[in-house]
Amino acid sequence: MSGVLPAGACDCHCHVFGPAARFPYAEPRSYTPDDAPLEAYLALLDRLGFDRGVLVQPSAYGRDNTAMLDALTREPARLRGVAVGGAELTPNILKEWHTAGVRGLRANEFRRDGKPYYQNGVGLKDIEPLYKTMADLGWHVQLWIDTRDLPDMTAALKRIPMPVVVDHMGRLEYHHGTHNPGFQALVRGVGEGRLWSKLSGTYRLGATPPDYLQAKPFHDALVAANPANLVWGTDWPHPRPEGPVPDAARLRDVFLDWTRDPAKRQAILVDNPARLYDFPAV
């Protein structure tokens, strides 16, 4: 199947975990993952046909980015990263991380019943003092949010002088529908070029495997809005899944089935990630 992916294709959302004996998890934490070290992820990229990948700091490690930074320094040409941190960070630390391959910070505004769904998250307010340095470095903000809350974030988002990338199509459970005001705010933002979105996490919308068809209208709406502001990722190794753990190869194939236009595939898998994460042109 690797031949179906264009050269330079990038998995824009994944995580590395462990070995736990070397990289212990945060205390407390919302979940305890199985080890999924760099070697396993590189093997997955090879098997799926991706030349590049983007490591996203998971909440199980809190603000300790050591495991991710170690992976980046071991694979500098192939990998980039999105880190987590707040007031403890300085411009010099961000510049050091940039050299290592970090290209953004993740803000966690994901809530259920008004309370944080994940422990160890860092909110937009925590990273706002870092915006200028981040913008100067060409970074972005990755936003983990239930898109129903997106309209309430309008003022905060306007203060961000760089791209804002919304995780997993806004993580709206499919039964709320594409006409939900929050999802429509995401579609407008992507369409106007103010926001980006990851077309990942179809299974996190509550869609039924193996075809995840209930998520297709959300995918289609975002692609129709602006394919130049979209990227895709496996979300491997699928931490804290809502339902059965999916197969990354199947998720790839679903994306390819839903995205038949070669130009849109090229944009979403290659060109957009190269711009957003500062990879060399293929």
Catalytic residues: 235
Closest alpha carbon to 36 in 203, 273, 251, 235? 235
* Secondary structure class of 265 (helix, strand, coil): helix
8 A C-beta contact, residue 129 and residue 90: no
Closest alpha carbon to 231 in 5, 12, 2? 12
The separation between CA 55 and the C-alpha centre of its own chain, rounded to angstroms, equals: 8
Cα(222)–Cα(212) distance, rounded to whole angstroms? 16
Looking at the DSSP bridge assignments, the partners of residue 116 are 111
> For residue 115, what is the enclosing H or E element?
strand 115-116
* Secondary structure class of 32 (helix, strand, coil): coil
The sign one gets for the Cα dihedral 192, 195, 196, 197 is negative
* Secondary structure class of 110 (helix, strand, coil): coil
Cα(88)–Cα(107) distance, rounded to whole angstroms? 15
